[in-house]
Structure 1
């Protein structure tokens, strides 16, 4: 395997944890527990915490949403062996045409929001966000809870979203809702004990485990995510056949059964979620196409991951931030070893978090300019959001729907911020 030179290795170690949303504070401050429902974390109040707005989806459909509580009874939880089953929470976004009398889905549930506000942004994501500045619980999405699935002559392609390590599944809501408005069914996955917090229907909160050895932790996390991804796909098969896999028996939206085309499955993710997209594609042939948003394909110790050493026979798009990055060696190896289609794009002026909801939400918090520049770069937020949406949708439209608008053929004057890397 290829080893980094000592100076490169030191630089990668310095940058690496931030690149997968793990910082030094995370090694000592994270919890290995499920918080009881009555023990909410403390929160420093602000005079007027902001109720933020997410970008409006650009497709022709309104968006519906439902959450599912899933349990894999075939394996114990790898992070918490005392639990007999591996339990996950996922959100399903889908096109709808009827939203009347349906409440807007919350961005975060109350206890998850309180935990995110009190520790997550600083200890997990490495962002310097004042506690109590944002009202995460009062922020709502553009998705209607439980709305019926829009009628269609054909089944709809399915996309899976994997968040970065230390990021909740909600951190990709903008992309998920926009793709659903374009006719996709999008499933965002919280990988329990890797997500900063996961609130279950009974009110309990599972928080992230402490990575004593970052390299071993990330290797294990990718193995767990591969298994979680395949399990979620299995459960979607149940949903499509008319069975309800929700542990708590909550109703599924009308029309969801039979609406999924599980022969057209794609996946995308940010940071470690982008890495997991590549490894899950390598492990599960049901995933036909994927997008890696700024996720390494080298291990924390600098060695290449197997998927970088042998490439993929199915299309994977690499979307990266601007400036210095530690994704280079793994991405270069992957491109050299991939026999089929692949592209590498660079979003000019972007930072690592520019591919997440941070790009749209942080500017609403009246933060110091230096904080915003460090976290989401110098690109205009609206430009970043719409450029990302255009290329993500063009990729999946081409590989899962067979349409081709030539956006991925080369630079476009419509989106000058997106650079093609040779």
Structure 2
């Protein structure tokens, strides 16, 4: 599948979740059959609750890499990144609930899909989360997980997974890659759009799009290494960096963010493990593999089944030289591993009628298998869930055992 189609799928999925205030006739025109009735305005719209024992704290960092010029907008100067940190926190201090995204970001997302006149930005920006700002860190040292979202998607779309991992005892950094999201707001009020998406759409050939895909993947790898530097280096940018164990670090991502996870491992040996959630490998796994480090491929059936059409997965599987799993999820869709199913459910719309899994199952499978992988490889706790099929998860198929 080409990057153009991948990007359209991701943006369409995000658009379909934002129809809370859209009249039925408009919704029918955009998505076919009329959606289920929207959730009543009086109902609480929130992400699923985290499942771990820890309270979750949250903080946002604005980082600037002064050694790199932004690849998409060189005149903007140095590469800037927004990073949301989620971490295990102490109980007993309520704090303020972290926003899902800013109103400015929500407005840009709506404008990007042509819904700015029919949907209020607060329908998205006020979605309830479970992380608290101003929270005190839990005692101890915890593994670090870096998350990279899909192409065009803001980092907010991996919030549910990030919160859950933090509740289980991980520090999580989700990254907005500048000019690769439809909406990113910087602390000074600047609002960045997806210039990389525009370049991808206007590319003159499939070869040019493939080259841009490689640039996105390798550029994100550099972003992720820089974030790791700023969180664990000699002069860390985060005041609570002491809670991070720099010897236990993983990287994961959705769609092209999953490709970036592999690219980051290729470029930086500090990443101990990685996960690709339904993303074509834009930078091919080399014949030498990933240095015997563990890697998991978690995706849809069909395209990302053996011989299903994405040759990068077949090739990548053969070249992975360490512990590895290739898991397919029956009844899932490309966005099943993000917050999109939750947003669809909460806002009463249906995007892809081929997705047969309930929202709860999509959320649980993603959280449980990503969490099990990290527990196995960063926390040293063997996970029977990863040994093979289990009766409680009949949808999860172990490919190429």
Task: Give the TM-score of the pair, scaled to structure 2.
Answer: 0.84
1:347-358 equivalent positions in 2, closer than 5 A = 347-358=329-340
Q: How far apart are residue 372 of structure 1 and its match?
A: 4.1
1:259 equivalent in alignment to 2:243 = yes
Secondary structure in structure 1 of the residue aligned to 2:242? coil
Would the aligned equivalents of 1:157 and 1:262 in 2 still touch at CA under 8 Å?
A: yes
**Alignment partners' CA distance in 2, 1:400 and 1:244:** 22
**Alignment partners' CA distance in 2, 1:51 and 1:118:** 25
**Alignment partners' CA distance in 1, 2:11 and 2:159:** 26
Structure 1 residue runs of 5 or longer lacking an equivalent are 1-11, 27-42, 124-129, 247-251, 300-304
Secondary structure in structure 2 of the residue aligned to 1:148? coil
Structure 2 residue runs of 5 or longer lacking an equivalent are 13-18, 24-39, 204-208
1:178-217 equivalent positions in 2, closer than 5 A = 178-209=164-195, 210-211=198-199, 212-213=202-203, 214-217=209-212
**Alignment partners' CA distance in 2, 1:25 and 1:162:** 16
1:158 is aligned to 144
Secondary structure in structure 2 of the residue aligned to 1:343? strand
- CA gap of 1:324–1:216, structure 2 versus 1, over 3 A, is closer
**Which of 93, 96, 105 is the equivalent residue of 1:100?**
93
Would the aligned equivalents of 2:56 and 2:131 in 1 still touch at CA under 8 Å?
A: yes
Alignment: residue pair count? 364
**Which of 246, 263, 268 is the equivalent residue of 1:284?**
268
- CA gap of 1:188–1:62, structure 2 versus 1, over 3 A, is same
Structure 1 residues 314-352: Cα deviation after superposition (integer angstroms, max 9, x where no partner): 111000112344663111111212222111001110000
- CA gap of 1:176–1:24, structure 2 versus 1, over 3 A, is closer
Would the aligned equivalents of 2:332 and 2:356 in 1 still touch at CA under 8 Å?
A: yes
- Over the aligned positions, Cα root-mean-square deviation in angstroms equals 2.7
1:32 is aligned to none
Would the aligned equivalents of 2:97 and 2:132 in 1 still touch at CA under 8 Å?
A: yes
Q: How far apart are residue 131 of structure 1 and its match?
A: 4.1
**Alignment partners' CA distance in 2, 1:261 and 1:181:** 16
**Alignment partners' CA distance in 2, 1:217 and 1:196:** 17
Would the aligned equivalents of 1:295 and 1:327 in 2 still touch at CA under 8 Å?
A: no
Structure 1 residues 124-178: Cα deviation after superposition (integer angstroms, max 9, x where no partner): xxxxxx74497011113100012111112xx110000010101111100011000
1:146 equivalent in alignment to 2:125 = no
- CA gap of 1:24–1:372, structure 2 versus 1, over 3 A, is closer
- CA gap of 1:24–1:328, structure 2 versus 1, over 3 A, is closer
- CA gap of 1:284–1:25, structure 2 versus 1, over 3 A, is closer
2:36 is aligned to none
Task: Give the TM-score of the pair, scaled to structure 1.
Answer: 0.80
1:17-96 equivalent positions in 2, closer than 5 A = 17-19=4-6, 21-22=7-8, 52-96=45-89
1:293 is aligned to 277
1:268 equivalent in alignment to 2:268 = no
Structure 1 residues 232-287: Cα deviation after superposition (integer angstroms, max 9, x where no partner): 0100024xx5x4637xxxxx4xxx23111111000110000001101111111000
